[in-house]
Amino acid sequence: GAGVSQSPRYKVAKRGQDVALRCDPISGHVSLFWYQQALGQGPEFLTYFQNEAQLDKSGLPSDRFFAERPEGSVSTLKIQRTQQEDSAVYLCASSKGTGGNTEAFFGQGTRLTVV
Amino acid sequence: GQQLNQSPQSMFIQEGEDVSMNCTSSSIFNTWLWYKQEPGEGPVLLIALYKAGELTSNGRLTAQFGITRKDSFLNISASIPSDVGIYFCAGDPKSNFGNEKLTFGTGTRLTIIP
């Protein structure tokens, strides 16, 4: 597709349920980022991949959060045993990542509501 | 996590007015970016600044990279209805962004009063 695609757009999960959020980056983009955006706040960095390698996961809030990008393309963010504080919009972004001022393009996000 | 301080939090203006917003940080960034986000969408890059003191324009938008590398401002001239949205600043500690995590501001919500 032409842009970053995320699915589902909306997810309602019961507390304690596991969820998986998918990101299809722009074709050929090397770098992929996940951000969490709480209501009324700016996005906060979660993790970063270069191809299939997860180079930075310093923003993951707990060990319940796990991200993977096994073939260097599609990425999945998994949240285990969801809690109410996990409710947020999860944004994925990708960039060419070839070095030197490469813009990251964001998807529309997945809005997760934990009830 | 850390978020940059943006002001004002919200603005209510009339069409045709000029807008000014700014962003401050307690730490230095080597790249400053300004994004716009509309409801149900991801942020879209408006302007990127790479050098302290740099002043850059993109149509009716003008942004400056503060000389201390701890602040930036964004001006919008002659606002139009499609300017409505939330504006975020973002800082990158590296000077060649795209390969590094961004720290975003708290956002400025722009509303145009008919």
pLDDT tens digits along A27-71: 999 999 999 999 999 999 999 999 999 999 999 999 999 999 999
CA dihedral sign of residues B96, B101, B105, B109: positive
Q: Which of A40, A42, A105 sits opposite B88 (nearest CB)?
A: A42
Q: Which of A42, A100, A109 sits opposite B96 (nearest CB)?
A: A100
Residue A42 contacts B where some CB pair is shorter than 8 Å: yes
Q: In this structure, what token pair is assigned to residue B62?
A: 């003008």
pLDDT category of residue A103 using cuts at 50, 70 and 90: confident
Q: How far apart are CA B48 and CA B58, in angstroms?
A: 10
Residue A14 has pLDDT above 60, yes or no: yes
CA dihedral sign of residues A110, A115, B1, B6: positive
Give the residue ranges of chain B where pLDDT is below 70. 1, 95-100
Whether residue A36 contacts residue A112, with contact meaning beta carbons closer than 8 Å, is answered with no
- What mean pLDDT do residues A11-30 have? 97
Question: How many CB atoms are closer than 10 A to CB B81?
Answer: 8
CB contact under 8 A, B42 and A91: yes
Which residues of chain A have a CB within 8 Å of the CB of B100?
48
User: Which pLDDT value is given to residue A2?
Assistant: 81
Which residues of chain A have a CB within 8 Å of the CB of B90?
42
Q: How far apart are CA A108 and CA A10, in angstroms?
A: 11
Residue B34 contacts A where some CB pair is shorter than 8 Å: no
CB contact under 8 A, B96 and A91: no
Residue A100 has pLDDT above 80, yes or no: no
Q: In this structure, what token pair is assigned to residue B94?
A: 């590296």
Which residues of chain A have a CB within 8 Å of the CB of B99?
31, 50, 95, 97, 99, 102
User: Which pLDDT value is given to residue A98?
Assistant: 61
> Which one of B101, B104, B106, B109 would you mutate to disrupt binding with A, by most A Cβ within 10 Å of its Cβ?
B101
Measured CA to CA in angstroms, residue A28 lies from A25, A72, A73, B1, B18 at distances of 8, 9, 8, 31, 40
User: Which pLDDT value is given to residue B3?
Assistant: 82
Measured CA to CA in angstroms, residue B65 lies from A14, A29, A57, B8 at distances of 44, 28, 28, 18
Residue A4 contacts B where some CB pair is shorter than 8 Å: yes
Whether residue B84 contacts residue B112, with contact meaning beta carbons closer than 8 Å, is answered with yes
Which stretches of B26-107 are assigned E, i.e. beta strand?
31-37, 44-49, 55-58, 61-65, 71-76, 85-92, 103-104
Q: Which of A1, A3, A18 is nearest to A103 (CA)?
A: A3
Peptide bond between residue A70 and the one before it cis (omega within 30 degrees of 0): no
Q: Which of B2, B7, B5, B10 is nearest to B86 (CA)?
A: B10
User: Which pLDDT value is given to residue A29?
Assistant: 92
Nearest 10 degrees: CA dihedral of A108, B91, B84, B63? -140
User: Which pLDDT value is given to residue B98?
Assistant: 56
